[in-house]
C-alpha cells in the first residue's frame, strides 16, 4: 500500500521502519523541532529515522491546516499510519484515504486513551498493558480496534522499558493489520463503553512527591513511571532533588513522613504516608547524579564549614 506516516517520539520508530520495509511510504510527517535542554533541539527520533531511510520528511506546525491537509491528500495515500505523533488529525485528513487512518496506541483501549498511556498504566498499578491497533475517527482514541497485544507490567517496569517493548510489539502487529486491510480481511471492533479511562499529558507537577500524602508504593510507581519526563522531585533533608532510582523498603519505618529513617550504605530510606521508600540515586539541582549518602555528606560538610 501507499502510506503517509505520522509520528514523532521514539515509540513510533519501529512502526515507521516496519512500514518502510513492507509498503511505499510517500511521506513522513513529524513535529517541528523545538528547544530542548540547554538550548539544544529536543530529540526527534522519527525525523532521524526518516532521514536514515531516505524518506521525504514534512514538519508542519499544524497538520490540520487546510493547505497541509491538501498537500498530504495529493500524495494519494491508501492509508495514514499514526504513532505517537503529538497532534490530533482532523476528519478532513483521516476520512478520504480508501483505508482511512490506523493508529498504533500504547494501551489496551478503551483504558488509557490519550497522550501518556504507558506512564499512567504504571502510576495506576495496572497488572498488564499492551498495544491497540485502531482505526482512527474524530474522537480521542475512540475508534474501533483491529487488534490488541497484551503484556504484563512487572514490579520493576519503567516507562522507557515498557515503551521499548510495546513499540516493537506494535510494529509487528501493525504489519499484520495492514496486510489484513490490504487483503480485505481486517475487522475493526467498536470499543466497549465500559472501562474508559484517560491518560492526559504529563506536567512537572505530576512528578512532585508529597511524603505526607503518598505511600511508598505510590512513590515507587512515580519514579518508575515518570521517566524521562517529567521526572520525580522529592525533598531530602530539606532540599528538593530529582529521584532517579529506588524501591519500596522491606520494613515499615517508625518515623514522620518526609524524614530519613535509615541510612543503608549509599542509600537512604524515607518515611512516606505508609511504608518506607529506599532512594538509591538522585540528581541535585545543577549537579550530576549521585547517591543520597554522597549528597548528604557534601551537604553536612558545607554546613560544618560555615
Task: State yes or no: pLDDT of 242 exceeds 80.
Answer: yes
Round to whole Å and give the CA distance between 61 and 55: 19
Looking at per-residue confidence, does 6 or 42 come out higher? 6
What is the tens place of the pLDDT at every residue in 60-110? 999 999 999 999 999 999 999 999 999 999 999 999 999 999 999 999 999
Round to whole Å and give the CA distance between 256 and 260: 9
pLDDT at 40: 55
Task: State yes or no: pLDDT of 38 exceeds 60.
Answer: no
Same fold? 2-199, 204-304: no
The grid coordinates of residue 223 equal: 519514579
CATH for the stretch 204-304: 3.10.25.10
The grid coordinates of residue 164 equal: 521499548
Burial (CB < 10 A; 0-12, 13-18, 19+), residue 104, is buried
- The whole-chain average pLDDT of the chain stands at 94
CA distances from 124 to 151, 219, 220, 250 (A): 16, 11, 11, 21
CA distances from 226 to 2, 73, 100, 117, 229 (A): 37, 37, 33, 12, 5
Q: Tell me the DSSP string of 212-226.
A: TT--HHHHHHHHHHS
pLDDT at 151: 98
As a whole-number percent, the residues of the chain with pLDDT over 90 amount to 92
User: pTM of the entire structure?
Assistant: 0.94
pLDDT at 306: 55
Domain spans of the chain? 2-199, 204-304
What is the tens place of the pLDDT at every residue in 159-214? 999 999 999 999 999 999 999 999 999 999 999 999 999 999 999 999 999 999 99
Regarding the domain with residue range 2-199, which homologous superfamily does it belong to in the CATH classification? Answer: Formyl transferase, N-terminal domain (3.40.50.170)
pLDDT at 305: 54
Round to whole Å and give the CA distance between 119 and 109: 15
Task: State yes or no: pLDDT of 36 exceeds 80.
Answer: no
Contact 6, 29 (CB under 8 A): yes
pLDDT at 125: 98
pLDDT at 32: 85
Amino acid at each position: 500500500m501507499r502510506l503517509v506516516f505520522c509520528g514523532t517520539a521514539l515509540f513510533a520508530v519501529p512502526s515507521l521502519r516496519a512500514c518502510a520495509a513492507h509498503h511505499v511510504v510517500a511521506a513522513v510527517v513529524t513535529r517541528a523541532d523545538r528547544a530542548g535542554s540547554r538550548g539544544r533541539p529536543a530529540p526527534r527520533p522519527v525525523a532521524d529515522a526518516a532521514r536514515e531511510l531516505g524518506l521525504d520528511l514534512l514538519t508542519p506546525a499544524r497538520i490540520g491546516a487546510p493547505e497541509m491537509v491538501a498537500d498530504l491528500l495529493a500524495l494519494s495515500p491508501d492509508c495514514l499510519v499514526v504513532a505517537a505523533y503529538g497532534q490530533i488529525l482532523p476528519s478532513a485528513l483521516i476520512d478520504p484515504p480508501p483505508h482511512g487512518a490506523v493508529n498504533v496506541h500504547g494501551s489496551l483501549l478503551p483504558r488509557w486513551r490519550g497522550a501518556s498511556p504507558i506512564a499512567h498504566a504504571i502510576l495506576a498499578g495496572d497488572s498488564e498493558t499492551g498495544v491497540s491497533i485502531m482505526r482512527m475517527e474524530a474522537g480521542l482514541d475512540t475508534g474501533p480496534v483491529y487488534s490488541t497485544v497484551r503484556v504484563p507490567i512487572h514490579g520493576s517496569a519503567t516507562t522507557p522499558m515498557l515503551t521499548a517493548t510495546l513499540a516493537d510489539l506494535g510494529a509487528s502487529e501493525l504489519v499484520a493489520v495492514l496486510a489484513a486491510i490490504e487483503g480485505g480481511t481486517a475487522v475493526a471492533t467498536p470499543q466497549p463503553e465500559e472501562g474508559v479511562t484517560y491518560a492526559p499529558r504529563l506536567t512537572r507537577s505530576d512528578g512532585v512527591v508529597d511524603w505526607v500524602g503518598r505511600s511508598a508504593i505510590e512513590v515507587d510507581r512515580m519514579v518508575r513511571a515518570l521517566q524521562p519526563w517529567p521526572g520525580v522531585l522529592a525533598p531530602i533533608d530539606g532540599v528538593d532533588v530529582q529521584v532517579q532510582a529506588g524501591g519500596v523498603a522491606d520494613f515499615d519505618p517508625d518515623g514522620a513522613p518526609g524524614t530519613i529513617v535509615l541510612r543503608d550504605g549509599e542509600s537512604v530510606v524515607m518515611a512516606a504516608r505508609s511504608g518506607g521508600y529506599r532512594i538509591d540515586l538522585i540528581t541535585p539541582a545543577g549537579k550530576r547524579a549521585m547517591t543520597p549518602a554522597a549528597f548528604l555528606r557534601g551537604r553536612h560538610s558545607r554546613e560544618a564549614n560555615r
